Structures are given as structure tokens and as C-alpha cells.
Structure 1
């Protein structure tokens, strides 16, 4: 059989390999973590870098809030982090909206590594619960913990101390429950506004499927969360956040965040040397195509895991600001495809989507090859194709 046929049918990935390979990847991830933490000293790896350095940004905000200082004052925020980690490289800035401040306030009550451990343990548990919910709903019998441990964005999230587990749990769990528990779904989606760029497609799909109870619950939850943080921290905090948001745009445009870490179409084009204006133009075009596809797939349809999967894959395609650890979102569409039974190209593309986060950053950094926008586009394409076929039938 020719290579092309193997790739089209995914025949190289038989049942036995599907059973063994995730266990091998899970083992490698666990060994990597053991080496990282086992060789660390005072919370720093053998190169002197703070473990979970992104998390320091959240802890700093929590401490600043406890001291009644402005968390959106970039100089004060940086000064606190440098006080804790004098050799901190770069600036893990805090661009989250005020809805996230209450989470940070709780973290600020604990020492760094206690807070880091609690944060990852609780958000990973939420993510694992959402994965199990998808597996139960779709009657997927594979052991979820193996796939969790093997999935590369899990390791990336842990080493960065990021919010990806929480965001994926809220969006993945919320979108799964729209059809069966619409109010709870809306509460989860309303809480997910702490990272709003990944929710751009959600209102479109909810409106066009007539998911009114979920829309109402999401709106009330988002408003209540915003109001609560405004009451606790002062409503001027919104003005401060909006003022800082302009610097977030500048940081992304200038590459201060690092285009190689990012997975968006915009960042991929910048890695290739395309001008900023053209990269933004293409990003806008892709975002419109993705949104139009979600509209078409949702129009007068009942809510389904297929629509939820399409929205979750479309989320990082529709925004210029998405990073490799955010690919934790892809676990849910991959569960859907494993349940649905693979068609031509779907097994190969699913394998690419599962493994690509391991290679995406080094390939972009050192080889100038941004693979994640292409992988996301392929995954979105096969889900859109399934939507087309479902409509035709």
C-alpha cells in the first residue's frame, strides 16, 4: 500500500498501537516531570529558571490585591515579580480581565509553591472531570487518565503554571452540557469569560441553535462575576484593564510574547516574515471564514457534540492570541472523533493534532516553520466536512 493510502486511511495506527503509544507518551511525560522537579533547587530548574514562571504573574496580582495595590499597574506588577525572582526573564504580563481577579486573590493567600500546587491540582481535576464527562457522554471506553497524562498540552500547562486546564474545563464542560443541562452549561460558559478571546464563536452557535436558557445563564453569570469583582476591587479596575489592554495588543504585534509560542494564523505568518498588516488581514479573513462555518453548521440545528467540537477547534483559529498550552481545548474534539469512527484522513489529522504541540514551539523558534495553524485548519476542516454530511443526510 502506498504511503498516500496509509495516510488517508490511517492504517498505520491500529488498535494495538492506539493502546500502547499513549501509555508510552504518558510515561515520558511523567519521567520528564520527575526529572524537572527532582533536579530543581529552591523551585528553580537546573538552568536557574523558576518552575511555573507564568504562574508568578497570577500570584503577584493576588498579593497586590491583598495590599490594595493596582494589579494593572505594569511597573508595580513587574517590581513584585522581580522581588520574588530577581533573574526573571521577560515579563509574564497580566492581561486577564477583572473577572479573573477573585481567583488571583485566593492564590495570593499562599506561598508561591503551595499556591502553584493547589492551582494546578484543582484546575487539572476540573479538566479531567470534563474529559470524563465527554468520554461518558460518547461511550468512549479508553482510560481517560492515560490520555490526560499523554496529551502534550498537559505537560506544557504544568511547566508554565498556566490557566489552560481551567479554561478548557469551563468551555469543554459547558459546551457538552448545552443540550442536557442548559443552565449549568451557561454558568460554566459565563465563568469562561475570564479568557474572553476563546469565546468569540460561542454566542453564534448558541443563538443559532436556539439555546436560550444557556444564553441567559451565561449572560447572568458573566455579569454577576464582573459586578462582584467591581464591587470588591472598585469599578475603576475596568478602566485600568482597558488601558492596559492596548499594551497587550502592542506586545502581541511586536513579538514580545514570542511568535513561536503562539499557534494562531497571525503568529504563524509573523514567523514566516509576513508584514504585520498583511498578517492581521489574513487573520481577519480566517476568523470570518471560521465564524461563517460555525453559523452554517449551527443554523436551525439541535445542539450536538459535533457543534461543540467545531466551536472548540475554531476558537484558537478565530483569535490572533492563542498559545501552545491553550491546545488543551483540542482534547474534546479528539474524543468526539474517536467516538464517531474515523473517516478518510481523520485518524492521521487527529494524530497530528494530538502530537503537534510537542513540536510546534521548537519548529517555529528554531526552524521558522509554524505548524499549528495548519494542523488546526485541518482539524477544523474535517469537522466542517462532518457538519456538511450531517446536513445533507
Structure 2
């Protein structure tokens, strides 16, 4: 009986789920309101600038407008501190040159107008991608409540991060592969602004022989790279390659903070595993994910299920991923729920959906306070259940 309580989770019906969503949504809105109302001059009660991470993007736009090198760490630190300085704090910029055309316009606006525009545009793109998934999966319901209740949405808003944009490009692109492959390829190519989340994408596209989508992605990525080169000079590529060593060191040594990261590598490091061993496990897991995706995609059509499987595996396949990046899991969660609603919930599905939906609210606090990394296990459960659904559809 106790095992069935969790395995079947029949207590998690529609009414209770809606009540949980309203509770989470209310907490998220209250937290956001407390941050904004408790701030003074754009600085919150803890001394952090509203938008925290966004200062890196805005500063990069300012530097590009002046012709400065955004990959010169000392110059970037100085430029950030011209606007706001918090002792010991610096938001690094390790994004590839493909991202520079996205941040260049921000340099023509003041910090807070740029932050508002960034969140409005990227947030609208994410919501559009989610609506497209809902339509394709035959879902309806309170989309606004789901967005307000989903913890990664609030984390992205408070950090001013790129998660909405990357999720919109990858989620929207992968959904369109079967019906509009060229447009899908264009969106996937633009997602190279954060390449670590696309590791499984070429595996799925190649295994399913999606040649038009592959061509569109290659042309889009090359066009974006060419635009960056023409606009900011060919030297940006060498500057970026030079700074990637600092990025690798920051990841390996925990300079960013293993408790803030939600990858398998970071979880093992938080538990005390040596860096080499943790990285070896991460590589093995990434290869296993690639093989699993390739097997699911081999000589098959590119269905929403396959897209969901790729997106469920994306945060597991990279060592560098944070809680706001969990916005990506909205798509596999929608797929898993839609299939379960249509055919009946299988073992552990209700509990996995609840855990994956809410985990970002607890992952960082638990890791910081107790040294307990929960997110890798939650993500793995989500991936396994999505794979089970994909295989069942094809069986």
C-alpha cells in the first residue's frame, strides 16, 4: 500500500494538482513582488542588482557599442563596476561570439529598460513555443497559471537570464522538424548561442535522417557566426577561445558554486567526488544518453516524443547547467502529461511530473544548506519516463 501511494500517486488528481499550482504560483508572485517592492534604486534588500546576471549581457552590449573586447575579463569587470559594484561579485561572460548580435542592441538602452525588454521579448518567445507544444499535443488549460507556478520561470526572471530564449529556440525548433524542417533548422542553428544544450540534437537529427533540418541548422549557425565576424571582427573568435579556459576552470573548481549547478558532474563534486572521477561519470552518462536518443530516433519520424526525449536529456548531457536552465524541461513535462492523460498514468509518472515541475524551487536551497543534489536524479527519472512513453508509442 505504501509503495502504491508513491508509485501510482492516485491522490494527485486534477483538483489537487490545480491547488498545488495555485499555491506555487502565489508563492512565486509574492516572492517576485517582495524583491521588487523591497528594492531601492534597483538594488534588492540583499544588495544585489535587480536582474543579477543580466548585468553581464548589458555590459557586453555597452562594450560592443564602444568597440571594446567583451572577452577581456579585467575590462569586463571594470565596465560592470562602472554601473554597479558589489564587493567580491562579478558576473562572467563566457558566451560564444554567436551570442554577440543578441546582446549588442542592449547596449543602446539603459540597464533597467534593457532588462525589461529582454525579459519581455524572450519570455514572449518561450510562451509562444509552449503554446505551440500545447496545440500539437492537444492540451488546454490554464497556461498562465502553469507559467506563474513553474519555478524556473521565476528564477529566470529574477536572474535576467537566457533560459527563455534558449528554450524557445530549441523547443520551438525541435517541434517543427517534422512539419517545417527548414524553419526548424534555422531556430536550432540560432540556439548555438548556448551550445552545451544542443549536444543531443545532431544525434537525433542524423539518426532520423532529417537532412533539411540539418542543412537549415548549419546555414543558420554559419550565418550567425558570419554576422558576428563581420560586425565585431574575426579576432572575437580567438578572444573567446582564450577565455573558454577560464570557463572550464570555473566549472571544474566550483568557482561558480556546485550547489548552484544541477548537472550530474556538479552533484558528484558536491558529494565529494574528485573532479576527474565526476567528469568521467559525466562523459559516460552523456554517451549513454546519446546512444539512447540515437536508438529512439533511428530511421523514425521526428515526433514530439523524440523532441521531448532530446530536451529531457539536454540538461543531463552537459556538466554546466543551472536551475534557471530547467525552463527546458517544460516541453518534456507537457509531452509526458499529455500522453499520460490520453492513455492513463503509468507507474511513477504522477510523482515524476510533480517532482520535475517543482524541483527547481528546492534544488539550490537543499544543495546549499545540506549538500544534497536532488536535480540529477529528478532529471534522470524524467528522461527515463519520457523514453518509456516514446517506445510505447512506437510499439
Q: Which residue of 2 aligns with 1:245?
A: 244
SS class of match (1:285): helix
Within the alignment, does 1:359 sit opposite 2:388 as a pair? no
Superposition map of 1:63-82 within 5 A: 63-82=62-81
Closer, same or farther: CA 88–43 of 1 in aligned 2, 3 Å: farther
Q: CA deviation at 1:84?
A: 1.3
Q: Which residue of 1 aligns with 2:327?
A: 328
Q: Which residue of 2 aligns with 1:383?
A: 386
Q: Which residue of 2 aligns with 1:285?
A: 284
Mind listing any 5+ residue stretches in structure 1 that lack a counterpart? none
Q: CA deviation at 1:97?
A: 0.4
Q: What is the alpha-carbon root mean square deviation over aligned residues?
A: 1.0
Superposition map of 1:193-212 within 5 A: 193-212=192-211
Counterparts of 1:230 and 1:21, CA distance in 2: 48
Superposition map of 1:200-349 within 5 A: 200-341=199-340, 342-349=345-352
Q: Which residue of 1 aligns with 2:137?
A: 138
| Farther off after superposition, 381-390 or 155-164 | 381-390
Counterparts of 2:159 and 2:298, CA distance in 1: 39
| Farther off after superposition, 260-269 or 28-37 | 28-37
| Cα deviation 1:102-142 (Å, max 9, x = unaligned) | 11110111111110111001110000111111001111111
Counterparts of 1:178 and 1:89, CA distance in 2: 45
SS class of match (1:354): helix
Within the alignment, does 1:371 sit opposite 2:339 as a pair? no
Within the alignment, does 1:8 sit opposite 2:7 as a pair? yes
1:356 touches 1:372 (CA, 8 Å); kept in 2? yes
Counterparts of 2:70 and 2:47, CA distance in 1: 27
Counterparts of 2:248 and 2:7, CA distance in 1: 40
Counterparts of 2:326 and 2:19, CA distance in 1: 23
| Cα deviation 1:216-237 (Å, max 9, x = unaligned) | 1111000000001001100110
Q: Which residue of 2 aligns with 1:159?
A: 158
SS class of match (1:259): coil
TM-score by structure 1 length?
A: 0.98
Within the alignment, does 1:123 sit opposite 2:122 as a pair? yes
Mind listing any 5+ residue stretches in structure 2 that lack a counterpart? none
Q: CA deviation at 1:93?
A: 0.5
| Cα deviation 1:195-231 (Å, max 9, x = unaligned) | 0000010011011111111111111000000001001
1:135 touches 1:144 (CA, 8 Å); kept in 2? no
| Farther off after superposition, 378-387 or 328-337 | 378-387
SS class of match (2:53): helix
1:128 touches 1:145 (CA, 8 Å); kept in 2? no
TM-score by structure 2 length?
A: 0.97
Q: CA deviation at 1:386?
A: 2.3
Q: CA deviation at 1:89?
A: 4.1
Counterparts of 2:284 and 2:136, CA distance in 1: 35
| Cα deviation 1:319-342 (Å, max 9, x = unaligned) | 101111000000001110111012
SS class of match (2:315): helix
Q: Which residue of 2 aligns with 1:178?
A: 177
| Farther off after superposition, 33-42 or 377-386 | 377-386
1:50 touches 1:88 (CA, 8 Å); kept in 2? no
Q: Which residue of 2 aligns with 1:57?
A: 56
How many residues are aligned here?
A: 391
| Farther off after superposition, 314-323 or 79-88 | 79-88
| Farther off after superposition, 3-12 or 34-43 | 3-12
| Farther off after superposition, 15-24 or 251-260 | 15-24
Counterparts of 2:21 and 2:330, CA distance in 1: 13
